[in-house]
Amino acid sequence: MKNVVFIAPPAAGKGTHSNKLKEKYGYEHISTGDLLRNEINNKTEIGKKVKAVIDAGNLVEDDIIIKILESNLKSIAGKLFVLDGFPRNLNQAKKLTEIFKKLNIDYEVIFLLIDEQEAMKRTLGRIVCSCGKSYNIFNEDFKPKVEGICDVCNSKLVKRDDDNEESFKVRFQTFLKNNEPILEYYKKLDKLNVITVNKHSKFVFEDIEEVINGNY
């Protein structure tokens, strides 16, 4: 099976499908958003620096996130992983190629294609647990069994500080601006797999399984 790099706008399903890869196949899930939110929750120097940037929907400086990511990738050396939330611009994509070369890592890129209206609806309906599981109050398949409570660990579900309309719009526009060069870059490297997500989540996951098995 192949390592996966997910590229997608906010709320396209990177986190959900990463979790499924983890549950079903034992993938390590590296979410750069989660890594940054951990820094914020632990009130580290980095956390203090990035909180306002993230809440407003802007990108954290490349140097900060690259450093965090590289040490994380080193710590799981040799394990199968899915990378969720990186790269988000061409500089990060090039840097990632360098890191992968250095660590001798092969991978496939999966682009989850979603339109803005659907992504906004999903973002505004998202509630999350500190254990990493995420739910959606607008989608029957993704509602928690008990309102406001995590199915897995019984903790209280909360809205992310950046899951509001204003921050979503900034994130989506940033994504549109940066995404084209990234897709071109991976097309040239022959690493790009495009999956549309306007279908039931289980069919999206089936397509993802085709990619990790080298059949897409």
User: Which one of the spans 58-66, 104-112, 186-194, 197-205 is the region binding ligand ADP (CB under 6 A)?
Assistant: 58-66
57 binds ligand ADP (CB under 6 A): yes
Please state the closest distance from residue 58 (CB atom) to ligand ADP, in A: 6
Does residue 11 belong to the site contacting ligand ADP (CB under 6 A)? yes
CB nearer to ligand ADP: pick between 7 and 150: 7
Least distance (Å) from ligand ADP to the CB of residue 67? 11
Q: Residue 182 contacts by C-beta under 8 Å, 6 or more apart in sequence?
A: 7, 87, 88, 89, 90, 93
With a CB cutoff of 8 Å and minimum separation 6, the contacts of 143 are 135, 136, 137
- What's the min distance (Å) between Cβ of 122 and ligand ADP? 9
Q: Based on CB atoms, which residue is closest to ligand ADP, 169 or 215?
A: 169
Q: How far, CA to CA in Å, does 179 sit from each of 9, 139, 184?
A: 9, 27, 9
Q: Give the x-and-dash track for 99-138 against ligand ADP (CB under 6 A).
A: ----------------------------------------
Residues in 147-176 at the binding interface with ligand ADP, rule: CB under 6 A: 162, 171
**Contact criterion met (CB below 8 Å) for 160 and 116:** no
Task: Tell me if 120 sits within 8 A of 12, measured CB to CB.
Answer: no
Residues of 69-105 as b/e, b for ≥16 C-beta within 10 angstroms?
Answer: bbebbeeeeeebbbbbbbbbbeebbebbbeebeeeee
User: Applying CB under 6 A, does 33 fall inside the site for ligand ADP?
Assistant: yes
Q: Tell me which of 4, 36, 93, 212 binds ligand ADP, using CB under 6 A.
A: 36
**Contact between 62 and 95 (Cβ < 8 Å):** yes
Binding residues for ligand ADP (CB under 6 A):
10-11, 14, 31-33, 36, 53-54, 57-60, 65, 85-86, 88, 92, 162, 171
